[in-house]
Amino acid sequence: MTQPRDHFRQEFIAFAVEKEVLRFGEFKTKAGRLSPYFFNAGLFNDGMSLMKLGEFYAEAIKNSGIEFDMLFGPAYKGITLVASIAIAFAKNGHNLPYAYNRKEAKDHGEGGVIVGSPLKGRVLIIDDVISAGTSVRESVELIAANGANACGVAIAIDRQEKGLGALSAVQEVVKNNQIPVCAIANLNDLLNYLKNKKDMAQNLHAVEAYRQSYGVD
């Protein structure tokens, strides 16, 4: 976890391609666009890949400089992500509290919608990608309702494409919630990866064309 940032990001892209979490073809996005690539973090579905994913997240979070006191993973994908990241930090001597939410409040036992550590202080939200920003907005509101403050968001990949307007979905989250967003890798990293793979020239051209139509800086 001490590699240069660019190398680290390239390693993550290669890892995602190897695990077929990052796939190429033709995929319809939530915005109705036909994307030449698709990222599905749910396919990091075994112990080794989840462990490595948590380490990639931890490295990206450290590199971001975001100051935080605990981690929060929105249900459902965020639950395994936040646990793996907490373990990755603990392995490096930084023991962090973490929590996640239930989709529906539990009316017996301990009750409530929050599982894990009580939400306190500066809370870093963990997600896989940001599409419409709905999950982040709901998390920010839930964290505030529990007397804590959302201080940022960490995601796996930033698609760097237009959201509802001229801004990207990530830029919209930053603007609307006044918090920073960090990512393990982004579209630039994906393009750099493809440029070094002669057998993936067709995918490179497709991703470059998609960026011409929908990309933002």
Say whether 94 is catalytic: no
Q: Is 201 helix (H, G, I), strand (E, B) or coil?
A: helix
Output the pLDDT for position 6: 62
Which residues face 35 on adjacent strands?
27
Return per-residue pLDDT of the chain as tens, 217 residues: 334 456 899 999 999 999 999 999 999 987 789 999 999 999 999 999 999 999 999 999 999 999 999 999 999 999 999 999 999 999 999 999 999 998 776 554 455 799 999 999 999 999 999 987 889 999 999 999 999 999 999 999 999 999 878 899 999 999 999 999 999 999 999 999 999 999 999 999 999 999 999 999 7
pLDDT at 1: 38
> Of 7, 103, 108, 198, which is the active-site residue?
108
Rounded CA-CA distance 176/138 in Å is 12
Residue 29 confidence (pLDDT): 86
Q: Is 103 a catalytic residue?
A: no
Three-state SS at 168: strand
Give the tokens for residue 194: 């493809």
Of the candidates 28, 94, 106, 195, the residue annotated as catalytic is: 106
End-to-end CA distance of the chain: 27
- Provide the 10 A C-beta neighbour count for residue 63: 13
Three-state DSSP string of 122-159: EEEEECCCCCCCHHHHHHHHHHHHCCCEEEEEEEEEEC
Q: What is the pTM of this model?
A: 0.92
Helix (H, G, I), strand (E, B) or coil at 167: coil
CB-based contact 16:22 (threshold 8 Å): yes
pLDDT value, residue 106: 55
Kindly give the pairing relationship between strand 70-73 and strand 98-106: parallel
**pLDDT for residue 109:** 47
CA-based torsion, 196, 190, 49, 21: positive or negative: negative
Q: For 196, which DSSP code?
A: T
Kind of pairing, strands 34-39 and 22-28?
A: antiparallel
Please state which of the four CATH numbers 3.40.50.150, 3.40.50.2020, 3.40.50.300, 3.30.2130.30 is assigned to the domain occupying 5-214.
3.40.50.2020
- Whether residue 154 contacts residue 122, with contact meaning beta carbons closer than 8 Å, is answered with no
pLDDT (0 to 100) of residue 7:
86
- φ and ψ of 206, to 5 deg: -65, -40
Q: Rounded to an integer, what distance in angstroms lies between the CA atom of residue 125 and that of residue 136?
A: 7
